[in-house]
Structure formats: structure tokens, C-alpha cells
Amino acid sequence: MAAASDFTLPTIAGPPLALRDMLAEGPVVLVFAHADCPTSVLALRRVAAAGEGARVVGVLEDSPEDAARVARRTGFPYPVLAQPEPYDVSRAFAIETVPTAVLVQPDGSVADTVVGWDAAGYERLLGVALDGEPRLKPGCMARWTFDWHAGGLDELDDMFERGWSDGLPVVPPTSDRVEAMLGGRDPARSLGAVPPAHGEATFERVAACAVLAGCRPHYFPVVVAAVEAALDPAFNAHGIAVTTQPAGPIVVVNGPARERIGLNAGMGALGPGTRANATIGRALRLVLTLTGGARAGGLDRATLGHPGKLTCCFAENEEASPWQPLHVERGFGSETSTVTLVAGDAPLSISDHRSRTPEELAATLAWAAAGQWSPFWWPMDDTSLYVICPEHAALFAAAGWSKERVREAMFEAVQRPAEELRRGETTPLVKESPYGTMVRKWTSPERIVIVVAGGEAGRFSAVFGPCNGMQAQVVTKEVRWST
Amino acid sequence: MEYVSPIDERTSAPVPFAVRPPALTGKRVVLLDITKARGAEFLDRLEELLIARGAETFRISKELFSKPASTEVIEAVAFHGDLAVEGLAD
């Protein structure tokens, strides 16, 4: 058996402890862990719940303050040692994963090792029953393995270890970056509690999310407006966060902010390729995920989700639109910058290069949504967000059609007899309607929200899927540039 | 390296499960229908089984499944029940 190296480390409450002194009283189980590893916290909590009796010592790759905090949070009743950088004790024991429990015999030999959380393994080491789930959980990388000073993994991996990510690499939110993002704003000012876990969206946390997302500091007012919109009760962020549906927030920016921060309303507006679009939508998602606790597979219960939940933000191409832009339609001045949130899921592209009349084009656009939510779910009492491309908008404009007329025509175009819809997931209205009753796809034309975006060439519009049953209203907030 | 956390640590604290009663006899069980489709059917059957085991039941519904329960509903659950069962999904 391998021999354990002797060491002396500071404790969180009392004088330093040496391994040889601990071993003088009998075998010891060393539990290597660190504060940013959920499995470590789980192991410490479960060992703590087993009650005192075994000879256990926590060896945490943390500052004494952080180690004390973890011990307090987990109720860990045993001695806790704080191991500073460069984590020589972990290196000496070749601990690559935390938690790792090591049984050291009085003669210094290592008799047994358990890597990660393995309830049966801990029962073996401690000689006690450890009931409850989970029985197994993989651990995290020990800190010395991603100590960038030592040439190991870098700070980007550190972000993943902390769980501060949406699955893609992020920009580490250093104090300097967050301060720059805040731009002199009060870091403690709160925008409110973020559902579903109700973490408080202080400016500082929102700024941290904006840094993580890759925002430039002058995007921050737009991010703040997006968070304000999401926290408006009318948006029902709680329902959207926890639903099994794939829906998430769609961010539409109007007004001078578009040019001021370089948002793309033109070619490829829905992505990819523009930093402002990609990072503002991502920042909002990170606020919901990290501050709000809506982690996929955790409180976010989406069965599938969709790629647009990573980020979904674009600007309206007001210059290519023959109509009032969305924010003016919703009561704001044309020179006011706004963020509008719509709850919805993935966009469906609608090609129409053949229609020559506004009636034909309205029908094409409208029928594309006929299968939304579920093919037999008529009428739909939810928002369908249409992104009309400039060429389609121009066809309507040439015929003198207002946005209202387009909306009415689309609403009237999509009708089917109730008896054709009495299959699968259908509505009470369809079930109860007499034979021959015509049912529309939407409950009213107001359910159709229209914006213009995209490049000047190509006749591809799109419609975002709905968020059903949430009573999630469209919410618009003004972007405030000053603090 | 020092970072600014995006996480409100107060949300990370685990909330332990309430102590489970050893038996249902004489217990008041609130059955909360969150108004998801067919949730009431599930709770109907559960109510039969609970009554057969000697429990008393009290039915209540949320206003909308996708929004948090109102204070009135939460208070009613606490007032009428020793235990609560929530019919969660369709």
C-alpha cells in the first residue's frame, strides 16, 4: 500500500493540525473537497448527517474563510483543514477529483480510497449506514489540476467548475470587468427577485451575467431593460422558467439603441454573427439561469429546450419597414429605445418567393403557423411573433396594406372545420363545436405580433413558436442610458 | 482570482423535507389541483385511497398552473392540512 505523505495545515477553528498527530490516535479518513464543487458539498453534508463517531478530517482546497463557510453550510462536525494554493497536499496524494476520501492507517499507509460521491464506498470507510439519494455522483476536478499558474487547466474551465455557464465558454467576471460593466451604477441596486429560485437581481449580479455572456459595457442598459421586462409579472417568468415547454424569452430591440450599440436588424438578424445580438440575449438567459436558478434539468424542466434558449435577441429593421415599429405600436415614442420581450420557442422559416398579391402572401405566412403548439390545437390564445423580411414587407406596402390589414388577413386566412380538428391534442372549443363550424387558428388578430427584420434580398420570413397556457404577455421597457 | 458571483447564495441553501408522518389515520390531507389537464382525475383517485386509509381530505385549486400559488391558496393549504399533495403534471 502507498504511504501517505505527512503534512501540516491550518484548521478553520484552532491551531494547525499535522497528519502524524492525527494518526497517533488511530486511522483517519481524509475527505478532500472544495467549496465550488457541488459533489463535494453533497459528500460533506451526507457525511455530516451520518453523525459523529468516525475519525474524519475535511481537507478543503479553499481559503480558511471559504472552508469555514462550507463547513457551516453543511453542518460538517469534524475538523476542517484549509489548503492554500498551490494545493501541495492534494498533489502529494495525487487527488485529481474532489471529493476523494482516503483512509490512512496509523502507520501512514493508504488503505482505501473513494473517488466522487459513492455512498457504498463511504459506508465502507466510515462503518455507518448512509441512507438517501443519490447513491452515486461524479466529482469535480481538484483545484490544482486547473491551476493556470501551474500550466494546468485555465480560468475558463474554472467557470464551468463553478457552474457559471450555459454550456458554452464564458468571460470570467473579474472585479474589474464587472466594475466596467456597471459604469458607475450602484452595484447593490436591485431589479427584484428572479424566478424560480428568487435570487435577487442586483445590478452587480446582472453585470456579472453580462460579463459572462460577453457583453461590452455599453450594452448594459439594454440588458438591464431586458431583465426589467422579464421581471414584470405580466411576462410570467416563473412559468416560462420551469415549464416543460421549450419556450424562452425573445428579445426585440427598437429605437436608437440599435445603432448606438451595433445591434443587427438586417442580414442574418436572427443570427449568428453579431456580438450585441448574441450576448444581450445570452446575458438575459444567464440572469434567469444563474441568479434565478433556472438550470436546465434542475428547476428548468424543459423536455427538449431549443438552441434559441441560449440566446435570442435581434433588432427591428425600422428603416426597411413600411409600418410603425413595434415600440411605437406599443405606445412609445419613435426616438425612445426599448426592449420588448415575447415568450416563444424556435422560429420556423417561411419561404415565399412566388406570391404576387398581398392576399396570397398573408395566407402563406399565416398557414405556416397552423401547426403551432400542436396541429389540432385551434384556436391558439397565445402570441405568434412574426419576423417579416423586407421584401415581404415591401409587397404589402406596394399594395397599400397597413400592418393591421395584414394581421386581419392572416387571422381570417387560417380556418378549418371543427370536425377536421377532432384528433389528438385539441381544444374544448373544437370538441364542443357543431359539425361544419369554422375554427380559426388564433383567438384574435391581436395574437399576431409583427416586426420587420432581415436583409434586403430574399423572401424568407419567420414565425416563432408560442408559449402556451402561461398567460405570458408581451412586455416592453424603455432603455435608460443614465443611472 | 477573485470573481463577482452571479448567484444569490441564499438560493443555494437546501430546504429539508418535512418530517413524514408514520400513518395517515386521522390526518388532514390537502389535495392541491394546479389546474393542469387531467390533474383532477389523478387527485380523485388519490382521494379515494386516502379516505380508505382513514385520512380526511380537503380539495383546493390554484388559479393557473403556470403561476405561483396565491397567498390565499398557500394559507388555505396550511390551515386545512397536516399534509398536502400537489397534482403536478398532465
**CB B44, CB B87: distance < 8 Å:** no
The candidate with the shortest Cα–Cα distance to A232, out of A203, A263, A201, is A201
Q: In this complex, which of A73, A236, A290 lies closest to B6 when CB atoms are compared?
A: A290
- How distant, in Å, are the alpha carbons of A118, A126, A155 from that of A123? 9, 5, 35
Whether residues B7 and A291 touch (CB distance < 8 A) is answered with yes
Whether residues A205 and B10 touch (CB distance < 8 A) is answered with no
Strand, coil or helix: B90: coil
Whether residues B2 and A243 touch (CB distance < 8 A) is answered with no
Instruction: For A190, name the nearest residue in chain B, comparing CA atoms only.
Output: B8
In whole angstroms, what is the distance from residue A162 CA to residue A308 CA? 23
Q: In this complex, which of B1, B5, B64 lies closest to A208 when CB atoms are compared?
A: B5
pLDDT of A1 reads 45
- How distant, in Å, are the alpha carbons of A207, A226, A428, B32 from that of A142? 28, 37, 56, 45
Instruction: For A72, name the nearest residue in chain B, comparing CA atoms only.
Output: B13
Does residue A106 have a cis peptide bond before it, meaning omega lies within 30 degrees of 0? no
Number of Cβ within a 10 Å radius of residue B26: 10
> Which chain A residues in 57-76 lie under 8 Å from chain B, judged by CB atoms?
73
| Interface predicted TM-score (ipTM) of this complex, two decimals | 0.84
C-alpha cell at A10: 491550518
**CB A461, CB A388: distance < 8 Å:** yes
Chain B positions in Cβ-Cβ contact with residue A178 (cut-off 8 Å): 4
pLDDT digits (tens, 9 = 90+) for B24-79: 999 999 999 998 888 899 999 999 999 999 999 999 999 888 888 999 999 999 99
Chain A positions in Cβ-Cβ contact with residue B8 (cut-off 8 Å): 197, 199-200, 205, 291
The structure's pTM equals 0.74
Residues in chain B: 90
**CB B59, CB B47: distance < 8 Å:** yes
Chain A nearest CA to B67, separation (Å): 6
Q: In this complex, which of B4, B11, B66 lies closest to A243 when CB atoms are compared?
A: B66
In terms of C-beta density within 10 A (0-12 exposed, 13-18 middle, 19 or more buried), how is residue A176 classed? exposed
Whether residues A174 and B3 touch (CB distance < 8 A) is answered with yes
Chain B nearest CA to A463, separation (Å): 24
Chain B nearest CA to A291, separation (Å): 5
Instruction: For B8, name the nearest residue in chain A, comparing CA atoms only.
Output: A199
**CB B20, CB B43: distance < 8 Å:** no
Tally: H helices and E strands in chain B:
2, 3
**CB B4, CB A207: distance < 8 Å:** yes
> Which chain B residues in 14-73 lie under 8 Å from chain A, judged by CB atoms?
14, 64-68
In whole angstroms, what is the distance from residue B29 CA to residue B43 CA? 11
Q: Residue B14: pLDDT band by 50, 70, 90 thresholds? A: confident
**Is residue B55 within a helix (H) or strand (E), and if so which, with residue range?**
none
Chain B positions in Cβ-Cβ contact with residue A45 (cut-off 8 Å): 14
Chain A positions in Cβ-Cβ contact with residue B35 (cut-off 8 Å): none
pLDDT of A148 reads 54
pLDDT of A410 reads 98
**CB A98, CB A59: distance < 8 Å:** no
DSSP label at B11? G
Chain B positions in Cβ-Cβ contact with residue A73 (cut-off 8 Å): 13
C-alpha cell at A334: 419613435
In whole angstroms, what is the distance from residue A386 CA to residue A400 CA? 19
Whether residues B14 and A45 touch (CB distance < 8 A) is answered with yes
**CB A238, CB A292: distance < 8 Å:** no
C-alpha cell at A50: 451520518
pLDDT by position in tens, chain A (length 483): 456 778 999 998 878 899 999 999 899 999 999 998 999 999 999 998 877 667 899 999 998 888 998 999 899 989 999 998 889 999 999 999 999 999 999 999 999 999 999 999 999 999 888 888 899 999 999 988 875 555 556 888 889 989 999 999 999 999 999 999 999 999 999 999 999 999 999 999 999 999 999 999 999 999 999 999 999 999 999 999 999 999 999 999 999 999 999 999 999 999 999 999 999 999 999 999 999 999 999 999 999 999 999 999 999 999 999 999 999 999 999 999 999 999 999 999 999 999 999 999 999 999 999 999 999 999 999 999 999 999 999 999 999 999 999 999 999 999 999 999 999 999 999 999 999 999 999 999 999 999 999 999 999 999 999 999 899 999 999 999 986
